[in-house]
Amino acid sequence: MKLSKKILIILFLIVTINAFSQEIISKQLLKSIHRWISDDRYLYICFENNNEYYISFLPGEHQRQENIIYGQFQIKNNQIILKYNTEKDIYSKEIPSEFKKDEVILVLKPEKKKRIYSIKLVTKTGYEFYGENTYPKVGEKREEGGKEIIILKETEGIINYNAHVREGPGLNFEINKIIYDPEGKNDVNNLKVMTVIVKGWKVIITARTTEKEKISDMHDYWYYCKLKDIENTNWTSNEGWIYGGLIDIE
């Protein structure tokens, strides 16, 4: 059955709009971002001038820096194609096997839902890398979880009552599971899981909602926080939203 001329025009406009609204990948963009950090804050990718890349772990006091893989990358059809170089494999036992395939494809996507970083690279299997220095500027306003938020100058706070860290600014968002290595041994058998941040833990506040919310007898903002006490862990995403009534801000 033939499509009408009107339908064909509509389809053409949809395709055209999507094409022009899509972020364009370029070598300049890749190199302008110092590191692309994985969502679990475990790995990072660096793209270099000679079309080479390497994947390694985020630095940490107990991190094994020799865990690293190299390869060549190319940009084709607005995708990044990683080609793993087995000959330059120094020590990659702990690097996920997904990145040791003959070819790994990354696409660029704007981040609008879970995190307040601007852009991310995503593999076909859903592994996500966020642009390290694409964080919004202080004073910039954005939408997060259906609420307006504002980016703040980093401020330290202390948890004053046991608190959950949530994926978004509200009680309707899921509670984050904080998985961490308390002894820094990089041993999967030594990992701990917690869903409650206890009184006395320090946080670094980087954003808040622009409007306060009443919960029980409290009336406060939701704050986007980094958990300072485990900020160097290699095993977890240590960021999320905490209700302001549970934080003493210095």
Residue 98: CATH number of its domain:
2.40.128
> What pLDDT shows up at residue 13?
36
Half-sphere exposure of 220 (CA within 13 A, CB side): 15
- Residues 123 and 146 occupy one common structural domain: no
Examine the fold and report which residue of 89, 107, 131 is the final residue of a domain before the chain moves on: 131
In which domain, by residue range, is 158 found? 141-249
> What pLDDT shows up at residue 90?
64
Q: Say how far apart CA 9 and CA 11 lie, in whole Å.
A: 5
Give CA torsion, residues 32, 34, 36, 42, to 10 deg. Answer: 180
Number of domains in the chain: 2
Does 74 map to a domain? Answer: yes
Examine the fold and report which residue of 131, 153, 168 is the final residue of a domain before the chain moves on: 131
- Residues 168 and 200 occupy one common structural domain: yes
Decide: pTM greater than 0.75: no
Q: Which residues pair with 75 in a beta bridge?
A: 80
Does 6 map to a domain? Answer: no
Q: Are strands 247-249 and 119-123 parallel, antiparallel or unpaired?
A: unpaired
In the chain, pLDDT over 90 holds for what percent of residues?
A: 24
- Residues 154 and 127 occupy one common structural domain: no
- pLDDT over threshold 70, residue 68: yes
Examine the fold and report which residue of 111, 131, 151 is the final residue of a domain before the chain moves on: 131
- Residues 46 and 120 occupy one common structural domain: yes
Does 17 map to a domain? Answer: no
- Residues 116 and 162 occupy one common structural domain: no
- Residues 94 and 187 occupy one common structural domain: no
